[in-house]
Structure 1
Amino acid sequence: MAKPEHPPSNGWDRHSILAEIRRQKMPISFLAQQADMSPNAFSHVWTRVTRAAEEVISDFLETPAKELWPDRYPIQSSYFGSSKSAGLSASQKQHKPTDNAVAA
């Protein structure tokens, strides 16, 4: 567990993260074993969000996860914007008085 001496100047990517872990002579499988996780969780970290594996790797490299995977942070709970943030009405099913002229 040592902070990288020379972090990549153009940002972290899969290959630079793996290279730094290997420079420190730490197999990914051993990181998984230390964290009581499946090695498969670490193999998926490169292609999909795996928060636990990301956290273990960032702790090992002493680098924030948001710096290693900037496209995954800040954590977004939904891809759809809420009506509050968009400035829209809270509901599209607003209670409006019925138009009795049309109903008759």
Structure 2
Amino acid sequence: MSKIWTKAQIKCALEEAGMTLTGLAELAGINPSQMRSVWSRPSRPAEKAIAEFLDVPAAELFPTRYPIRKSSLLSAENEARIAREKAARLSDKGAAA
């Protein structure tokens, strides 16, 4: 089972490794304010940088933000289904006329 990390534990692990959020932001090429706001706002680049630095999956560090769910409305499979249904409706209208 995965460990549940708190903000304090994540910051402590970074500090134990001699790293700060600002330093990690510079290494990762991320705006430092974006890195510091990772606790209150989702930021995939910041979350990924922290996870890679600590060698811990981002989903374990930020479990409420993962997994990334793809909207069913935007999925390619759903788009194809919608197109088929629309074509069928149009052909039904043409046959009825």
TM-score, normalized by the shorter chain, greater than 0.5: yes
In structure 2, how many angstroms separate the alpha carbons of the residues matched to 1:23 and 1:56?
16
Percent identity (aligned): 35
Which residue among 20, 30, 43 is the counterpart of 2:23? 30
Q: Which residue is equivalent to 1:75?
A: 68
Query: Aligned ranges for residues 1-104 of structure 1 at < 5 Å?
Result: 11-78=4-71
In structure 1, how many angstroms separate the alpha carbons of the residues matched to 2:68 and 2:41?
13
Which structure has the higher relative contact order (CA within 8 Å, separation 6+)? 1
In structure 2, how many angstroms separate the alpha carbons of the residues matched to 1:14 and 1:77?
27
Shift of 1:76: 2.5
Q: Which runs of 4+ in 1 moved over 6 A?
A: none
Unaligned runs of 5+ in 1: 1-7, 81-89, 95-104
Q: What amino acid sits opposite 2:17 in the alignment?
A: Q
Unaligned runs of 5+ in 2: 74-80, 83-88, 90-97
Structure 1 or 2, whichever has the larger Rg, is 1
Structure ranking higher in helix proportion = 2
Shift of 1:27: 1.6
TM-score w.r.t. the length of structure 2 is 0.68
Aligned partner of residue 29 in structure 2, secondary structure: coil
In structure 2, how many angstroms separate the alpha carbons of the residues matched to 1:77 and 1:14?
27
Shift of 1:64: 0.4
